[in-house]
Amino acid sequence: MERRGRKIGVYVEDQPLPPGQLFHYDDSPFGGRYLSHASLVELRKAVRAREPEYRKERREVWDLWIKGAALAIGLLGAATGFVAILTR
């Protein structure tokens, strides 16, 4: 969940701390760290709220690339036609 959040611009550190907690992470008995349950719930809410806007932004970027490619292909075709007319 953290990786998905970072990808779309939602960071654990930006979320408010859950009541009664000093940190977002808890220590594992095996030496690792994991996101506390309350922080995970808040992160999921923030990711769900941000996802539609992120998908819209990505769609707009792809749309721009597609229009640019279509323009380049059109100009290449026009240039090819122009050269074909000039060589006759």
- Measure the N-to-C terminal CA separation of the chain; round to a whole number of Å: 63
Summarised one tens digit per residue, pLDDT across range 7-32 is 999 998 888 888 887 888 888 888 88
Q: Are 53 and 8 in contact (CB under 8 A)?
A: no
Residue 26 is predicted with a pLDDT of 85
Summarised one tens digit per residue, pLDDT across range 38-67 is 888 899 999 999 999 999 999 999 999 999
**What backbone phi and psi angles, to 5 degrees, belong to 17?**
-70, 140
